[in-house]
Chains A and B, each alone.
Chain A
Amino acid sequence: MAHSRLEKIGTIYTRITGLIRAGSMSLEDRPLWYEVYQAFPPKYPPRYDRPAPVEPVRNIFYPEDVIRAKFYKSVKNVPSVNLSDRSRPSLCQKCIELCTKLQKENNLELNEAFDQALNTILSEAETKSASKQESESTVGSDIKLANQTTIN
């Protein structure tokens, strides 16, 4: 098939159209995609020299990012998080939720609301871990007892 191999000039469609118009390619020899391209032209013409826009990349920030930053500044040992488990919110997410709730309900300032929220969240986490340890230790003693009975 005789056609231009200069991929940097025009698009595949304009090159084939030019060949057909000039008579060097008969209409029967047109590529299979020709009509499909005509019916559904791409949104951006695939030209090699399509210029890039000059606008700067915008930054994505959310209002709650302030709370997030405060949280990670004040909490040094963040517990590990399972990223694929979306049912359980992380400690930071809980803090953000509580903080915004306190801000709305009690008309508190951001700093006050954040301190309250952080205290409640941390104390909750502590009590949870303490109860977990307790239950583990009781299970351990049960096993010990069981072992003793089998030995006896």
Chain B
Amino acid sequence: MANVLRTFSRWINTNRVSKDSIKINSLWNRSLATEAAVLEKSSNLQEADKLSALEHEDFFNLKPSFTIKQLFDARVHFGHKEGTLDPKMKPFIFGSRLGHIIFDLDSTAELLFAALNFTAHIAYRDGIILFVSQNPQTSYLIECTANDCKEFAHTRLWRQGTFTNSTMIYGAVTRLPDLVIVLNTLTTVLEQHPVIAEAAKMAIPVIGIVDSNCNPNLITYPIPGNDDTPTAVELYCKLFKNAILAVNTRWLTIILSREMVWDGSHKKTGELSSIF
């Protein structure tokens, strides 16, 4: 086991940027008991191992991570008043209850799964994920979430050009995030967060929680739902954290399942390239 991890870490150090050391450390820190538990995990994961990551529709076993009842209990289905409805949100809503927009949680669940799956795949490929919001009420929670999954957060005033003019702003060539997760797509009641247009300009995919008064068009993976209630935001944060941390578990199962192959022969490069 130690041998495998060492070769794995050496390989990764020569190929990837410094962020990887964190993930390797977290792999090292796992106890033997959890490793055993991971190996005995559900058959879904073992079946998934037979396919490559992108061929399997739920490679990280994220479908059971939430239920529609949970979404309902977290008050995800509540939209704003009917007068503030953005017509582009119409495909995602169930109807209007006495003037209040109610989201269709079936479509929310489908789109939320697509977004979680995409997040996990980006994390699996060692992409940088940036959580963005400008809502003071939830900014601490979002920063804590980003910290917990060793990713990044931006919850303050957005300076124009943070992505588009990053070389000048940071004084050096800067690696931009590979995925932006926006938990509140509005800065004020009427204005869209500038990160969405900037990410689209720099060809960075965006996952966004879109409430009934938001414009979902530029958002790559929109999740229709309530973006104001703390319980709802807590649920989103928890799910994204789970999705990102599920990647570590998958790494471990893959490493352990390939241990036999690696220990015997020294065809490391071939085996590794088939994983990545």
Enumerate chain A interface residues (CB-CB to B < 8 A).
3, 5-7, 11-12, 15-16, 31-33, 35-37, 39-40, 42-44, 46-50, 52-53, 55, 57-60
Contact = CB atoms under 8 A, between A and B. Distances in A.
Interface string B121-150: 110011100000000000000000000000
Contact of A32 (B86, B91, B97, B178): B178
B122 A57 contact: no
B217 A48 contact: yes
A47 B217 contact: yes
Nearest to B110: A43
B217 A46 contact: yes
B203 A46 contact: no
Main secondary structure of the interface of A (DSSP, over half): loop
Most chain-A Cβ atoms within 10 A of its Cβ — which of B90, B202, B205? B205
Contact of B201 (A7, A31, A36): A7
Interface string B182-224: 0000000000000001001111111000000000111111100
Contact of A46 (B121, B178, B197, B218): B218
A7 B94 contact: no
Contacts of A52: 86-88, 90
Given A12-B220, A32-B127, A33-B205, A58 B179 contact: no
Nearest to B82: A57
Contacts of A50: 88, 217
A57 B95 contact: yes
26 contacts: A5-B164, A12-B203, A12-B205, A32-B127, A33-B205, A36-B54, A36-B118, A37-B118, A37-B205, A37-B220, A40-B121, A42-B221, A43-B111, A48-B200, A48-B218, A50-B88, A50-B217, A52-B90, A57-B85, A57-B93, A57-B95, A58-B96, A59-B95, A59-B96, A60-B97, A60-B102
B237 interface: no
Contact of A33 (B102, B164, B179, B218): B179
A53 B90 contact: yes
Contacts of A3: 203
Contacts of B91: 44, 53
Contact of B94 (A31, A46, A55, A60): A60
Contact of A43 (B88, B114, B201): B114
Contact of A57 (B101, B118, B206): B101
Q: Which 5 A-B pairs have the closest CB atoms?
A: A7-B200, A52-B87, A39-B54, A60-B95, A5-B201
A16 B204 CA distance: 11
Nearest to B217: A50
Interface in B152-183: 164, 178-179
B41 to A, nearest CB: 23
A55 B217 CA distance: 18
Contact of B90 (A35, A36, A42, A55): A55
A59 B100 CA distance: 10
A33 B222 contact: no
A33 B101 CA distance: 34
Contacts of A37: 118, 205, 220
Given A33-B205, A53-B90, A42 B114 contact: yes
B220 A42 contact: yes
Contacts of A12: 200, 203-205, 220
B117 interface: yes
Nearest to A25: B203
A42 to B, nearest CB: 5
Contacts of B218: 7, 46, 48
